[in-house]
Amino acid sequence: MHFYKYHALGNDYIVLDPQKVNIDINRENIKLICHRNFGVGSDGILYGPSFTGEKINLRIFNPDGSEAEKSGNGIRIFSKYLIDAGYVTRKNFYVNTIVGEVDVEVLEYEPVLIKIDMGAVTFISSDIPVTGKEREVINETLEIKGIPYKITCLSIGNPHCVIPLEEISGKKAKEIGPIIENNSLFPNRINVQLLKIIDRKNINIEIWERGAGYTLASGSSSCAAASAAHKLGMVDRNIRVNMPGGFLDIEIEENGHVQMIGPVSYVAEGNFSYEMLAKLKAI
């Protein structure tokens, strides 16, 4: 019962390959495996590959057991696993998620640098989703603990709420992130990014991730924050997104697609102990 662990800028995932493991991927098992004290510990699980013809399928799970639509870091990690495990040998291929196919390009092998086409963003409220009348959710006011914040919301396959601030911190993300994530305005909950503009080509963000909590880095959050900043006229089309775990380079194309470039690091592999397997099978 093998597992593999990778990280992308400190955002760590466990790969469970259904060709090699036989574990029920249910909420309680996911929570136990991801637990940093009682399990292996990670920001989520990448369950794959499974195959539909030649299609390579991936399912992504948060540490609270919920399923994520998309993860930029997770897809980059999974892409490196596909290379490491010998499932793919070419530089260009597709990974199929529950919200559609993602175009992957391996730019470098040593160290690994991967480019992902994350698709196009939408700011339309029903697509994110955000409650209320149909509209683009841009620069609206949301009051948290009596303080008004300007929010811009979008979806890039999963929902995001971006908040530009003069100063940001992990402490602030942990303070208001969970409140915003679970606000009734967002029926499917939402990822939260606190955004600080450095200049036209550089931004800093702090991240509260839906179902995972405070996160050192996030690919989809980087794309979302860069897209929101560009929509608000704060940055150009090529942006470096700096996070506590490192940086990603984001390109917003004229057709609306967002390209993300970043590294992946292999951490470890191992086997679940008999004791752990007994717990997983008992759940």
Q: For residue range 100-141, list pLDDT tens digits in order.
A: 999 999 999 988 999 999 999 999 999 999 999 999 999 999
- Which ranges in the chain are annotated with CATH 3.10.310.10? 2-109+265-282, 122-255
Looking at residue 110, what is its pLDDT?
Answer: 87
Mean pLDDT of 56-79: 96
Looking at residue 125, what is its pLDDT?
Answer: 98
- Give one DSSP letter per residue of 7-37, joined into a string: EETTEEEEEE-TTT------HHHHHHHH-TT
Are 258 and 120 spatial neighbours (Cβ–Cβ below 8 Å)? yes
| Residue where the block lists tokens 């540490």 | 63
- pTM tops 0.85: yes
The residues, ordered by sequence, that sit 6+ positions from 125 with a Cβ below 8 Å of its Cβ are 131, 132, 133, 134, 135, 136, 137, 153
Token code pair at residue 200: 């036209």
Cα 96 to Cα 30, 46, 102, 211, 229, distances in angstroms: 21, 12, 6, 21, 28
Other beta carbons less than 10 A from residue 28's beta carbon: 13
What gap in Å lies between CA 211 and CA 209, rounded to an integer? 6
**In the chain, what is the straight-line distance between the N-terminal and C-terminal CA atoms, in Å?**
16
What gap in Å lies between CA 262 and CA 107, rounded to an integer? 10
Looking at residue 280, what is its pLDDT?
Answer: 87
Looking at residue 1, what is its pLDDT?
Answer: 77
pLDDT class of 282 with cuts at 50, 70, 90: low
What gap in Å lies between CA 227 and CA 250, rounded to an integer? 9
What gap in Å lies between CA 137 and CA 31, rounded to an integer? 33
Are 211 and 184 spatial neighbours (Cβ–Cβ below 8 Å)? no
Amino acid code (one letter) for 121: V
Looking at residue 283, what is its pLDDT?
Answer: 56
Are 158 and 189 spatial neighbours (Cβ–Cβ below 8 Å)? no
Q: Could you tell me where the DSSP H helices lie in 58-169?
A: 72-84
User: For 18-22, 168-172, 192-196, which range has the lowest pLDDT when averaged over its residues?
Assistant: 18-22
Largest Cα separation within the chain, whole Å, is 55
Q: Check if CATH label 3.40.50.300 holds for domain 122-255.
A: no
- Give one DSSP letter per residue of 143-178, joined into a string: EETTEEEEEEEEESSSEEEEEE-SS--HHHHHHHHH
Fold for the domain defined by 2-109+265-282:
Diaminopimelate Epimerase; Chain A, domain 1 (3.10.310)
